[in-house]
Amino acid sequence: MKIFIDPGHGGKDPGAVGSGLQEKDIVLPLALSLVEKLKNYECETKLSRDKDVYVSLSDRAMAANAWGANLFFSIHVNAFATPEPNGYEDYTYPSVGVATQNIRKAIHLHIAKVWTAVSRMNRGMKTKNLQVLRETAMPAVLVENGFISNPQDAALLKQAAFQNKLVDAMVAGIAEALNLKHKDSIEEQLRKELTKTQQEASRLRDKLAQIKEIVSS
Ligand SMILES: [Zn+2]
């Protein structure tokens, strides 16, 4: 499985700005942490940017398409003109099929739970004609993690512990959505198979010894 991770904005494009924060600076560490944590799973990852640089929306989509990604996962933070709106929402392109709907639902349930656990809104599963969702050839989900324009959301987004929970939820959602195997469970499986093979080898050795005894007698 190939997961293309897209931290929004960057470089000359700060994204949403508010509460002393810039969206581009919040989403990048989340994306980098997501890449690290996904190393525990059977999958490959690629980033649209791994530093504070500008990448156009069409270049992001093209990079994912050229790589042959199985999932395009775009990380954003919301903003509004007034401070009240808060919480989490995510987006797919309006006319996606059931496969993408199911992937998004798995991701949504995990991430929304982190926000509602701290009394922030679950604003739901939404659709929008966004360029990166429209121009990507694979299932694509864009997550809007809180409102930089809401003081409580902004305070949460500044906390390392909350960032960590968000990334863990992204990992859990993506792993469930794509049925990724945890590397520990693969190792465990191999250990079981090895034990079984050793037992079988031991049984065959005994059998061989018996046969030799019969032949020599
Ligand atoms: Zn954004």
Q: How far apart are CA 82 and CA 123, in angstroms?
A: 16
Calculate how far, in angstroms, residue 23's C-alpha sits from the geometric centre of ligand 1: 7
| Residues 122, 34 share a domain | yes
Calculate how far, in angstroms, residue 178's C-alpha sits from the geometric centre of ligand 1: 24
| Residues 107, 63 share a domain | yes
pLDDT digits (tens, 9 = 90+) for 55-70: 999 999 999 999 999 9
Q: How far apart are CA 28 and CA 17, in angstroms?
A: 15
| Residues 107, 27 share a domain | yes
| Residues 115, 142 share a domain | yes
User: For residue 87, what pLDDT is reported?
Assistant: 98
Q: How far apart are CA 171 and CA 180, in angstroms?
A: 10
Tokens of 169: 């939820």
| Residues 116, 23 share a domain | yes
User: For residue 188, what pLDDT is reported?
Assistant: 87
Q: What CATH number is attached to the domain comprising 96?
A: 3.40.630.40
Judged on CB neighbours under 10 Å (0-12, 13-18, 19+), 202 is exposed
Calculate how far, in angstroms, residue 78's C-alpha sits from the geometric centre of ligand 1: 6
| Residues 212, 132 share a domain | no
pLDDT digits (tens, 9 = 90+) for 7-21: 999 999 999 998 889
Calculate how far, in angstroms, residue 175's C-alpha sits from the geometric centre of ligand 1: 24
| Residues 209, 102 share a domain | no
* Cβ-based neighbour number of residue 127 at 10 Å: 15
Report the number of distinct structural domains present in the chain. 2
| Residues 124, 173 share a domain | yes
* Residue segments in the chain with a per-residue pLDDT below the cut of 70: none
User: For residue 217, what pLDDT is reported?
Assistant: 82
Q: How far apart are CA 152 and CA 119, in angstroms?
A: 10
Residue 198 belongs to domain spanning: 183-217
Statement: the pTM of the whole predicted model exceeds 0.95: no
| Residues 157, 192 share a domain | no
Which residues are marked as active site? 144
